[in-house]
Amino acid sequence: MATDVIAVYPGTFDPMTLGHEDVVKRACQLFGTVIVAVAAGHHKKALFTMQERVDMAREALAGNPQVQVEGFTGLVRDFVVARGGKAMVRGVRAVTDFDYEFQLAGMNRHLMPDVETVFLTPSDKYQFISSTFVREIAILGGEVHQFTSPSVQHRLIEKVRSLGRE
């Protein structure tokens, strides 16, 4: 493990899933510090506010001293550089993810030549999980306990209830 290397795992995490948690655990085996960077997500219509997503991630990842969770706005490059990151972690579930992530890694290499992008795959039992699917299942009244930690599930149920979509 590279104990002095800071890795940043950016995403919207709307909500954080067991797949995200699995990627974080894998990243912790490689890097001394993993910063889960919760993006404002200007390009997406988020179900949860950024602060709610930060809080969910902190709850889900509590107990791991290697992990920090922070919200950010603006370019991920600025966040990574400001935190001294030397690696950016990206979770890849399938070939369709890889195509997009490969293009993104190329752009990030251009913007941050000193930062390496590391692709990690979640355990096969989590490869089909996406935040989009989890949100839709919850909004339509389905069970999400097999896709999220209990604290995230609770927040998701409460959010759906508050929207009058139960």
44 is a catalytic site residue: yes
155 is a catalytic site residue: no
The CA distance from 51 to 66, in Å, is 21
Closest CA to 11 of 95, 128, 90: 90
Closest CA to 37 of 85, 92, 96, 79: 79
86 is a catalytic site residue: no
93 is a catalytic site residue: yes
Q: Catalytic residue among 44, 125, 145, 165, which?
A: 44
Q: Catalytic residue among 93, 135, 155, 159, which?
A: 93
The CA distance from 13 to 86, in Å, is 22
Q: Catalytic residue among 20, 26, 90, 155, which?
A: 20
Cis peptide before 150 (omega within 30 of 0): no
The CA distance from 144 to 132, in Å, is 12
Closest CA to 135 of 52, 71, 67, 42: 52
Q: Catalytic residue among 90, 131, 135, 149, which?
A: 131
List active site positions.
20, 44, 93, 131
